[in-house]
Amino acid sequence: MSDHTDLLTLYADMLVAHQGQLPHAGDHFYFKRGTPASWADGNYVLIGEDSVDFEVTLTDINLSDHIVMLVVRHVPPAMPEVTTVADWMRAPVGDTQNNWVQVSKTSDGKYAAAIGKETFDVQIRVSLVNGTIVSATIDNPVEVLERDCADAALTACGNPARYQIRRHVEVH
């Protein structure tokens, strides 16, 4: 099951793939984006951002079935542009700079502040006949460090908790 944002990811990845020259299986390119995408609503989620670049590879061309396979990896840029409010949010949670952040109001008037590393590995099978998406998978892990904080500056915070969010989506 997927939602509209998952479908948007697939179509956005197709647009990114059209930015490069991929005439042969194995051809690839790197697309720098970095500009944060936001899901903040301003009421509950005060900051919700990720910052990614794209690695695009044409992995297979099947002329008999008229299908190509694209792999689009959403990767942290060298210098992610997400909003970090407090100093503790700047230390990398994973093996790259942090490129994912979410700060939410809690029901008791406090704040849940999370920082981390997000990637997407997207595989898209595309028809050579009409350009439609035949099928796709999205693997979306996020390595998270979260703290509950008493203030909006995120300086009066409890102990950190580490966890992983992992979404796997299949579209047929």
Number of domains in the chain: 1
In single-letter form, the type of residue at position 120 comes to: F
Average pLDDT over residues 2-19: 89
pTM (predicted TM-score): 0.93
Contact 100, 118 (CB under 8 A): yes
Range of the domain at 29: 4-171
The band of 168, judged by pLDDT with boundaries at 50, 70 and 90, is very high
How much of the chain exceeds pLDDT 90, in percent? Answer: 97
Q: How far apart are the C-alpha atoms of 88 and 155, rounded to whole Å?
A: 8
pLDDT of residue 1: 40
- Tens digit of each residue's pLDDT (9 = 90 or more) over 20-48: 999 999 999 999 999 999 999 999 999 99
